[in-house]
Structure 1
Amino acid sequence: MWSYGSDVYGDKTLDVVGFDVEATDGSIGSVDETSHTVGDSYLVVDTGPWIFGKKVVLPAGTVTRIDPQERKVHLARTKQEIKDSPKFDEDATYNDDAHRDEVGAYYNRFNGTI
């Protein structure tokens, strides 16, 4: 869940901050932050006005494709699944173990539908 597929993000030097993010059913915002730590890779996506400025943490395993020419990151999740994800708290350590476990458990329940 917390690693990119080898065919998704082969060029680790590519910076996807600022790329648009596409759910299976449309745009959800843009990449605000990334982590490429082995086994703990994720995106922080700023959803802008779509969810009233909410940011969400998406495990790297939700990414199906990165298109550097279009500057887009494609996900295997719907807008509603992302909207219903665990709350992002900028004031807390959102990438701490407890939050990572909560986010991982949330997205792992969709594993059969990726």
Structure 2
Amino acid sequence: MANDLWEYSPTCGHRTGTDLAGWSVMATDGFVGRVDGHSEEAGDAWLVLDGGAWIFGKLLIPASAVLRCEADEKTIRLALTRGQVEDAPQHLSEADRADGQYRQDVAAYFGEAARSR
């Protein structure tokens, strides 16, 4: 993952202005859901993952977790396993993204996930 948690890696293939909503999201070991929302704001880029029945609720995934964007297939590949995605802090509402403690929890979780790879 990139050094800055909330930035896309320059090598992941993300193109500014691309609407990622509805794209498939793949962990290193399989499908984990679809993009429900996203931001590409500098220093605050993220995906909201809707895991459907597999993960009850939604998850906020920092942009640095994106390994590759495959525009032809409308697929995002993460540098995370299904287990790492499943164990991530749940994203309950849009207000969570502005909550400092929630953001710290997300940053701590994904920072640890990046170090374990």
TM-score over 0.5 (shorter chain): yes
Structure 1 residue 7 and structure 2 residue 19: aligned? no
Amino acid at match of 1:105: A
Q: Of residues 96, 105, 109 in structure 1, which corresponds to 2:108?
A: 105
* Equivalent-residue separation in structure 1 for 2:32 and 2:86 (angstroms): 9
CA deviations on 1:56-77 (whole Å, 9 max, x unpaired) are 1100000000000011000011
Give the unaligned 5+ runs of structure 1. none
* Equivalent-residue separation in structure 2 for 1:57 and 1:23 (angstroms): 14
* Equivalent-residue separation in structure 1 for 2:14 and 2:85 (angstroms): 25
Residue 29 of structure 1 is matched in structure 2 by 33
* Equivalent-residue separation in structure 1 for 2:112 and 2:25 (angstroms): 21
* Equivalent-residue separation in structure 2 for 1:101 and 1:15 (angstroms): 27
* Equivalent-residue separation in structure 2 for 1:65 and 1:48 (angstroms): 22
Relative to structure 1, the CA distance from residue 113 to residue 59 in structure 2 (aligned partners, 3 Å threshold; closer, same or farther) is same
Identity %: 33
Amino acid at match of 1:29: G
Aligned partners of 2:13 and 2:70 also within 8 Å: no
Query: Shift in Å at residue 100 of structure 1?
Result: 1.4
Count of aligned residue pairs for this structure pair = 112
Q: Of residues 58, 61, 68 in structure 1, which corresponds to 2:64?
A: 61
Give the unaligned 5+ runs of structure 2. none
Segments of 4+ in structure 1 off by > 6 A? Answer: none
* Equivalent-residue separation in structure 1 for 2:31 and 2:48 (angstroms): 15
Q: List aligned pairs for 1:45-84, cutoff 5 A.
A: 45-52=49-56, 54-84=57-87
Q: CA RMSD in A?
A: 1.4
Residue 93 of structure 1 is matched in structure 2 by 95
* Equivalent-residue separation in structure 2 for 1:10 and 1:80 (angstroms): 24
* Equivalent-residue separation in structure 2 for 1:100 and 1:3 (angstroms): 14
CA deviations on 1:15-42 (whole Å, 9 max, x unpaired) are 1111000001100110000011111110
